[in-house]
Structure 1
Amino acid sequence: MGVVIRTAGADDRDLVVRLLDEAFQDDPVSSWVFPGTDYRRRTHHRLMAAFADAVLADGRIDLTEDGAACALWLPVPAAEPGGPEPDGGSGGSTRDAPARIREAVDPDNERVEAIARLTDGIHPTDRAHEYLWMIGVVPGRQGEGLGTALIESVLDRCDREGLPACLEASSARGKVLYERLGFEFTGRALDLPDGPRMWPMWREPRTR
């Protein structure tokens, strides 16, 4: 039986935040942004809420019907020649968005702002594409193919419409999974200061 997927709405916000908080508690990048288990448990959910709010406003959240997995997607337009670069749905200039996120999440934590600035700096702007901001599966349901089903549903549309897609893998295991779906490492890794490595990945649409 296939995975049933629906588009999350405002009423699903709290569910999405709880799901992402649980799914990313042990993620290498989340552990770098919020070092220490107790601190991360108290604070991490605020960053997930900021991400969920941004995507509910400017993108789309796909949610499995059972609430066990979700994917946050943003449509990114190509930058116009001579014009400002697209802000990825941040609701303002990319220069100010990281500072706003830090203020909302944890004003004393410089890494909240740093991760936003570092990832902003590696996003391609020359072509319109779909950006997979985050995908999370609750720990007890990982390995069942839920994440793959969520991604493939969007990649099928990308292939039909001739759109590329991009993401940043936050673990070596995730990088292998994304490679199976047609994503390729761009060749420029992002090494967080005194922290883990992230792998920017790009996928060209497949012709049918």
Structure 2
Amino acid sequence: MGVPIRRAGADDRDAVVGLLHRAFSADAVSRWVFPDPDRMERDHGILMGAFFDMALEAGYVDLAEDGSAVALWQSLPAGGHGPEDEDGPAAFRESIDPANGRIEQIARLTGAAHPTERAHEYLSMIAVDPALHGKGLGSELLGNALARCDREGLHAYLEATSSRSRALYERFGFTFMGQAIQLPDGPVMLPMWREPAQ
């Protein structure tokens, strides 16, 4: 397909956050975090902005040149979380919606499941404009980043949030790590790992 892809910067924040909000506002995990429609409309974009900021700080953001798709990656070292990160989920909740304990809860659950043994690239989010689903844009973004992982010998990790996304990630060499993350009274997230291709 050959979609032109570039690295996004701080100037792209509003456009990327808008795309993430549109793409994930109907997602089961986002709906679990924000079950109230008014809170979803008010605070979901703030959460998406926080993910964008983390990716810029600890990794990179791949953006389709026309703004139709985006992937947020973080480059994480081996060794896991240090003592300074123990209060991270609570601080994360405070920065987005202090009254919403589910923000902290999901951060703790995903953090506990996150592998720490080896350095890796973490795909925290990938989104395609809902009007353009099924056109291969997500596959283009994913393939572009994973080709770099293969060249540089980098492992990769993500959490699939649906059987459809799991099937896509499996086509790109990710495997389910065996233990799902069950959100209380909510959907399941599937931790997946990928070894670099030889």
Which residue does 1:82 correspond to in 2?
A: none
Cα distance, 1:52 vs structure 2: 0.8
Q: How many residues get paired?
A: 198
Amino acid at match of 2:19: L
Asked if structure 2 preserves the Cα contact closer than 8 Å seen for 1:78 and 1:86, the reply is no
After superposition, the C-alpha distances for 1:98-141 in whole angstroms (9 at most, x for unaligned) are 11111111000000111111111111111111110100111001
Cα distance, 1:39 vs structure 2: 2.6
Partner Cα distance (2:155, 2:58) in 1:
18
Which residue does 2:48 correspond to in 1?
A: 48
Which residue does 2:137 correspond to in 1?
A: 146
Which residue does 1:19 correspond to in 2?
A: 19
Secondary structure class of the residue paired with 2:116: coil
Which residue does 2:4 correspond to in 1?
A: 4
Which residue does 1:61 correspond to in 2?
A: 61
The RMSD of aligned alpha carbons is: 1.3
Partner Cα distance (1:18, 1:107) in 2:
22
Partner Cα distance (1:97, 1:122) in 2:
15
Amino acid at match of 1:58: A
After superposition, the C-alpha distances for 1:28-82 in whole angstroms (9 at most, x for unaligned) are 1000000033331222111001111111112100000000110000111111xxx
Cα distance, 1:97 vs structure 2: 1.5
When you count helix as a share of all residues, which structure comes out higher?
Answer: 2
Cα distance, 1:86 vs structure 2: 4.2
Asked if structure 2 preserves the Cα contact closer than 8 Å seen for 1:76 and 1:86, the reply is no
Secondary structure class of the residue paired with 2:118: coil
Secondary structure class of the residue paired with 2:85: coil
Runs of 4+ in 1 over 4 A off after TM superposition: none
Q: Give the alignment's TM-score, normalised by structure 2.
A: 0.96
Partner Cα distance (2:13, 2:84) in 1:
24
Secondary structure class of the residue paired with 1:121: helix
Which residue does 1:29 correspond to in 2?
A: 29
Q: What are the ranges of 5 or more consecutive residues in structure 1 without an aligned counterpart?
A: 80-84
Identity %: 58
Secondary structure class of the residue paired with 1:155: helix
Secondary structure class of the residue paired with 2:167: helix
Is 1:168–2:154 an aligned residue pair? no
Asked if structure 1 preserves the Cα contact closer than 8 Å seen for 2:58 and 2:76, the reply is no
